[in-house]
Amino acid sequence: MSESFNAIPRHTPPISVSSTSTEVNRTGSWKYIQPAYHDRVAPCSAGCPTGVDIQGYMTLLREKRTAAAAELLLQENPMPAISGRVCNHPCESSCNRCEFDGSVAIHGVERMLGDRILEGRLPGSCRIRHAEHVAIVGSGPAGLACAYHLVRMGYHVEIYEQEQLPGGMLRIGIPEYRLPRAVLDRQIEFYQAMGIVFHTGCRAGEDVSWEHLATHYAAVFIASGAHVSRLLSLEGDQAGRLLLSGLDFLHRVNSGERPDLGRRVLVIGGGNTAMDCARTALRLGSEVTVVYRRTREEMPAIAEEIEDARREGVNFRFLLAPESIATLDSGLRLSCRKLKLGELDAQGRRRPLPTAEPPLELEAETVITAIGEDSELHMITADLDDVRRAVNTWSCERFARIFLGGDVAGDERTVASALGAGKRAAIGIDRHLRSHNGEHFPDELLEEMSIGRTGALSMARWMHSDPVRRVSPLNDVVRPEEINTASFAHEERHEDHHAEFSLSFAESNTGLSEAEALAEAMRCFQCGVCNECELCQIFCGENAITHDSVNGRFVIDLDHCKGCGVCTAECPRGAILMERLAGQD
Amino acid sequence: MRKVIVGNHAVSWGVKLARAEVIPAYPITPQTQIVEQLSEMCASGELDARFIKVESEHSAMAAAVGASATGARAFTATSSQGLALMHEMLHWASAARHPIVMADVNRALGPGWNIWTDQTDSLAQRDTGWVQLYCETNQEVLDTTIMAFRLAEQLDLPVMLVLDAFYLSHTSEPVDIPDQELVDGFLPKRQARYKLDVNEPHAFGALVRPDDYMEMRWQLHDSLRSVVDAYAGIEREWAQLTGRSYGAIEPYRCEDAELVLVTTGTITSTARHVIDERRERGEKLGLLKIKMFRPFPGELLREALNGIPRIAVIDRNLSAGHGGIFAEELRSALYLGDVAERPDLRGYIVGLGGRNVTPETINDIIDNALSTEPVQRPDIWVGVKA
């Protein structure tokens, strides 16, 4: 026993430390759920009707790979310089950064990239890889998008356009101060260089027969737009002769005319055409008042357009329904019933209801109506719904060769939606033609190519060139609560610059500088896609995550991952999901 | 370089010169200036360290333990309730043998809420296995901070350096700040004996059965007992470089003394002044400053106080229900000495919660200690209002 008093321990280490490696302890056997890296869909892409891989090109920009970023953008969006200017950018309202410190100024980044592309060299002619020729009716954004994607796939494409210059609504409907003609013209030059053939001044059904299109082309895409202004029937002017159609007015001004509208102009309507008419009339020197039957909240126009119109001096009169018009010596007198808002309608907007108050009378030299446009449906002989179904399900043999998209198909009337429709048609045409050549495309493919649930298709997916290894379904969109905002610092969003205030037709919004656009790319949360930030590796208590530098990804040692989920919780961008192991309920 | 700085910044300068690598910290008055200046030094790049803002002092010490486990040199600072909240992790730091250095700015524990100086916070941690070093001047604070890292890493023990709230922490004094090269030579980069290594994973801090637990504690205790000698050696080296040393204890004019005052911290300076005055008047009085509280330097104290008939221990702290802590510790240490020579040792409780301890207070204590009336109880409270 003597040694037990004040003996010096020789065999015990001074601290509790295992004598062997802990690798033998397979803590992975404890788990019932395990993490997996999922390259998921960012909400911006899901919100974009064109399905642009926004997170993807932001990542490339952050890595200073501007050319690669531009190429990725161009894979889905044929005209970023244009959409960066005129799109209502639903990507930004979907951005997970909204609640944090304001969405990423995606449109500004897109515009900067688009401008760099247009400033560059013209592209070479696309190589023809298919024997089939495709005809497209209409050279608006839907027709151009379809043609663009098809020539990139290797088809010979010809566009028929009734106007003298291509562009459709981009040219005749959008004022120059929002979309300078130089940008549009340069974009068209790019398309011509790629090999798209334009037949301008050539109206389908008149200058070229439908029979010719049906027999000389393997497929036809009809994207003829909506060019018929809805008629407003008023007491005292049933035929609408005293009223100026908004679209006609814009067409004239956009073609170079500068009509004298008189001192006072009334614009009836609350959509984008109404805003374009109001701001254009303002530039022609008139005092402009917009008359709308609901309130500002219900106006369908893009919020920035309404704000710009207000800032430039357009007056707004809400809750008024024009009922009669009369000619005076001094001009026109519009008599409007006063309205109030009632219950919600089917679209979730409050329905305007008449009041018993005496009518309000407004006087002006010119009254413009912009209450919506319709397509010239008579040009299409088939039942519209059947055609649309054929496009959307790929399955209707009767109309397999005829595709329809954009405003003419009743899509949401935005440039982004038209670009998405054109892409959808290009994929449908490619599938149709290749099916005829013996290839098989299962119906599930359509869902696999869908981004989010908005119906946009991924061209990257169709072309098997998706730079991101998306292993989960493409419609698995990262929700804001999946973002670990503790990993991000607040940084103020960069807003577009505006030239000194002037009411001219020159573009006043000068966008973002290249440095600002890069700073916006740095603000991107990169939702859903691992950017190798290492937080998972740092926080993994089991040291079970290692970096595979060859493939640029993290690998989980499942023998030692005990399924604690700290990686998922710490991942700033929702790129890691916990999955239940088979047989574990 | 000589600078006029407050005691808190003397700590920060010491930590900077010691090239601490990880500083997890949570602010608390009166120590906040320490970590505030360190965070600025980290932000400016003057100090290449990771500064971690944590959610509590418990986390601060836990993070320091984690950092130290990877082989990094870790530092933190706290006071009062913050130190109390760390209690669990203080045991962890010492038993896992992490050479963490921490500054504790002595502050009274609440309630009643009080931010002023009082040693009870640090003394309440006496059984956690930490070395405790109490400082008297800002120069001593800076020197002790640097030496603390040497001591800690030499023996794999955590070291707490302790300074009085406000009397040191917020009082400016001229301090000689040594050159970085000098400190680098004195305190090279830490070489950890045990550390986490992802390439060779081992389990740390796991279950230890009764077969081995005692042996581990024996080693901890043995290492702590060797601190007195190790510290003396480190001070000798520091003195060669800077000309300054302090000693685990410092006897002052104790030769032929009939009464020796025992003090710690800034009260020592006040007592030094009183002793000088009364020595002038021919009184045989001495002073003994205790710098090292853990390990308690019993042997040094028995030697220094050998043959002294009267001892008055001044405690700015309280073990409630027992008495002044230094007095009790000294009484216990002297019990091992010669029974026949046992002195008349009286413990005086002063200055709790930051109440001022003036030369008059010290004089009153001396007068009381010199009186031959027997004391009724072991702790004598000075200046308590009726």
Q: What is the ipTM of this complex?
A: 0.75
What are the strands, taking DSSP E only, across A381-525? 402-404, 450-451, 456-457, 497-498, 509-511
Q: Give the gap in angstroms from C-alpha A62 to the nearest C-alpha of chain B.
A: 25
Q: Quick one: which of B290, B282, B303, B298 has its CA closest to B332?
A: B298
Angle between helices A141-153 and A415-436 (to 10 degrees): 40
Whole-number Å distance between alpha carbons of B247 and A527: 60
Q: Quick one: which of B131, B101, B136 has its CA closest to B117?
A: B136
Q: Residue A393 above 70 pLDDT?
A: no
Chain B residues with CB under 8 Å of a chain A CB are: 95-97, 156, 194, 198, 200-208, 212, 215-216, 218-220, 222-223
Q: Quick one: which of B161, B78, B213 has its CA closest to A9?
A: B213
Do A15 and B216 lie within an 8 Å CB cutoff?
yes
**Greatest mean pLDDT range, A510-514, A542-546, B293-297:** B293-297
Identify the pLDDT of residue A390.
Answer: 46
Residues of A in contact with B97 (CB under 8 A): 14-15
Cis peptide bond N-terminal to B265, omega within 30 = no
Say whether B25 sits in a helix, a strand or coil: strand
**Greatest mean pLDDT range, A233-237, A404-408, A508-512:** A508-512
* Secondary element (H or E) of residue A234: none
Identify the pLDDT of residue A471.
Answer: 54
Tokens 């005691």 sit on residue: B7
Return the C-alpha torsion angle A274, A276, A280, A282, nearest 10: 60
Q: What are phi and psi of B83, to 5 degrees?
A: -65, -40
Q: Which two tokens stand for residue A47?
A: 């919100």
Q: Quick one: which of A81, A85, A73 has its CA closest to A44?
A: A73
Q: Which two tokens stand for residue B371?
A: 């009186």
Do A22 and B201 lie within an 8 Å CB cutoff?
yes
Whole-number Å distance between alpha carbons of B138 and B117: 16
Residues of chain B with pLDDT > 90, as a percent, come to 91
Chain B interface disruption, residue of A4, A6, A10, A15, most B CBs within 10 A: A15
How much is the mean pLDDT over chain B? 96
Q: Give the gap in angstroms from C-alpha B201 to the nearest C-alpha of chain A.
A: 5
Identify the pLDDT of residue B308.
Answer: 94
Least confident of A125-139, A280-294, A468-482, B358-372: A468-482
* Cross-strand pairs, B103: B77, B161
**Helix, strand and coil in chain A, % to nearest 5:** 35, 20, 45
Identify the pLDDT of residue A563.
Answer: 95
Whole-number Å distance between alpha carbons of A456 and B14: 62
Q: Residue A569 above 90 pLDDT?
A: yes
Whole-number Å distance between alpha carbons of A506 and B90: 71
Mean pLDDT over residues A3-17, rounded? 71
Mean pLDDT over residues B51-64, rounded? 97
pLDDT, one tens digit per residue, over A14-68 is: 888 888 888 888 989 999 999 999 888 899 999 999 999 999 999 999 999 999 9
Q: Which two tokens stand for residue A430?
A: 């490619």
**In the 8-state DSSP scheme, what is residue A17?**
B
Whole-number Å distance between alpha carbons of B173 and B137: 8
- Among the partner-chain residues B194, B198, B215, the one whose CB lies closest to the CB of A9 is B215
CA within 13 Å, CB half, A133? 12
CA distances from B90 to A66, B18, B207, B318 (A): 53, 22, 18, 21
Residues of chain A with pLDDT > 90, as a percent, come to 63
Do A21 and B201 lie within an 8 Å CB cutoff?
yes
What are the strands, taking DSSP E only, across B8-93? 22-25, 50-53, 75-78
Q: Which two tokens stand for residue B213?
A: 């637990």
Q: With contact defined as beta carbons under 8 Å apart, do B99 and B149 qualify?
A: yes
For A22, the closest chain B residue by CA position comes to B202
Identify the pLDDT of residue A397.
Answer: 39
Q: Residue A11 above 80 pLDDT?
A: no
Cis peptide bond N-terminal to B111, omega within 30 = yes
Residues of A in contact with B216 (CB under 8 A): 9, 12-16
Mean pLDDT over residues B361-373, rounded? 93
pLDDT, one tens digit per residue, over B74-111 is: 999 999 999 999 999 999 999 999 999 999 999 999 99
Identify the pLDDT of residue A394.
Answer: 42
* Secondary element (H or E) of residue B360: helix B359-370
Whole-number Å distance between alpha carbons of A478 and A459: 21
Mean pLDDT over residues A7-13, rounded? 70
Strands A133-137 and A33-37, by their bridges, are unpaired
Query: How many other C-beta atoms can be found within 10 angstroms of the C-beta atom of residue A374?
Result: 14
pLDDT, one tens digit per residue, over A175-190 is: 999 999 999 999 999 9
Number of residue pairs across A and B with CB atoms under 8 Å? 51
Whole-number Å distance between alpha carbons of B25 and B8: 14
Do B219 and A21 lie within an 8 Å CB cutoff?
no
Cis peptide bond N-terminal to A13, omega within 30 = no
Identify the pLDDT of residue A470.
Answer: 56
Whole-number Å distance between alpha carbons of A399 and B299: 104
- Among the partner-chain residues A15, A20, A21, the one whose CB lies closest to the CB of B96 is A15
Least confident of A407-421, A489-503, B178-192: A407-421
Mean pLDDT over residues A546-550, rounded? 91
Residues of A in contact with B206 (CB under 8 A): 16, 18
Identify the pLDDT of residue B350.
Answer: 97
Q: What are phi and psi of B107, to 5 degrees?
A: -140, 145
Q: Quick one: which of A250, A249, A243 has its CA closest to A266?
A: A243
DSSP for A305-365 reads HHHHHHHHT-EEE-SEEEEEEEEETTEEEEEEEEEEEEEE-TTSPEEEEE-SSPPEEEEES
Do A543 and B156 lie within an 8 Å CB cutoff?
no
pLDDT, one tens digit per residue, over A472-491 is: 566 789 999 999 999 999 99
Q: Residue A512 above 50 pLDDT?
A: yes
Q: With contact defined as beta carbons under 8 Å apart, do A541 and A554 qualify?
A: no
How much is the mean pLDDT over chain A? 88
**Greatest mean pLDDT range, A380-384, A439-443, B212-216:** B212-216
| Whether the predicted model's global pTM rises above the 0.95 cut | no
Residues of A in contact with B220 (CB under 8 A): 14
Measure the N-to-C terminal CA separation of chain A; round to a whole number of Å. Answer: 57
Whole-number Å distance between alpha carbons of B50 and B53: 10
Q: With contact defined as beta carbons under 8 Å apart, do B277 and B328 qualify?
A: no
Identify the pLDDT of residue A392.
Answer: 46
Mean pLDDT over residues B123-143, rounded? 98
**Greatest mean pLDDT range, A342-346, A391-395, A451-455, A523-527:** A523-527
Q: Residue A381 above 70 pLDDT?
A: no
Maximum C-alpha span of chain A = 128
* Cross-strand pairs, A229: A373
Whole-number Å distance between alpha carbons of B33 and B25: 11
Q: Residue A446 above 90 pLDDT?
A: no
Question: Any alpha helices (H) in A399-441, and if so which ranges?
Answer: 415-436
Identify the pLDDT of residue B373.
Answer: 81
DSSP for B214-273 reads HHHHHHHHHHHHTHHHHHHHHHHHHHHHHS----SEEEES-TT-SEEEEE-TTHHHHHHH
Chain A interface disruption, residue of B218, B220, B225, B226, most A CBs within 10 A: B218
Mean pLDDT over residues A508-523, rounded? 94
Whole-number Å distance between alpha carbons of A542 and A562: 8
The answer for residues whose C-beta is within 8 angstroms of residue B50's C-beta and 6 or more apart is B21, B22, B23, B42, B67
Nearest-Å Rg of the Cα atoms of chain A is 29
Identify the pLDDT of residue A521.
Answer: 96
Tell which wins on pLDDT, A406 or A566: A566
Q: Quick one: which of A449, A476, A450 has its CA closest to A462?
A: A449
Q: What are phi and psi of B348, to 5 degrees?
A: -115, 125
Identify the pLDDT of residue A6.
Answer: 61
Identify the pLDDT of residue A519.
Answer: 97
Q: With contact defined as beta carbons under 8 Å apart, do B176 and B116 qualify?
A: no
Q: Residue A386 above 60 pLDDT?
A: no
pLDDT, one tens digit per residue, over A103-119 is: 999 999 999 999 999 99
Do B206 and A15 lie within an 8 Å CB cutoff?
no
Q: Which two tokens stand for residue B344?
A: 């008349």
Q: With contact defined as beta carbons under 8 Å apart, do B85 and B30 qualify?
A: no
Query: How many other C-beta atoms can be found within 10 angstroms of the C-beta atom of residue B346?
Result: 23
Whole-number Å distance between alpha carbons of A342 and A352: 6
Least confident of A8-17, B4-13, B112-121, B197-206: A8-17
Q: Give the gap in angstroms from C-alpha A522 to the nearest C-alpha of chain B.
A: 22
Whole-number Å distance between alpha carbons of A253 and A259: 7
Identify the pLDDT of residue A398.
Answer: 44
Q: With contact defined as beta carbons under 8 Å apart, do A457 and A424 qualify?
A: yes
Q: Which two tokens stand for residue A468?
A: 């991101």
For B206, the closest chain A residue by CA position comes to A16
Whole-number Å distance between alpha carbons of A367 and A289: 10
Identify the pLDDT of residue B179.
Answer: 97
Mean pLDDT over residues A4-9, rounded? 64
Residues of B in contact with A17 (CB under 8 A): 194, 202-204
Identify the pLDDT of residue A526.
Answer: 95
Whole-number Å distance between alpha carbons of B227 and B229: 6
Q: Residue A297 above 50 pLDDT?
A: yes
Mean pLDDT over residues B43-47, rounded? 97
Query: How many other C-beta atoms can be found within 10 angstroms of the C-beta atom of residue B91?
Result: 15
Query: How many other C-beta atoms can be found within 10 angstroms of the C-beta atom of residue B274?
Result: 20
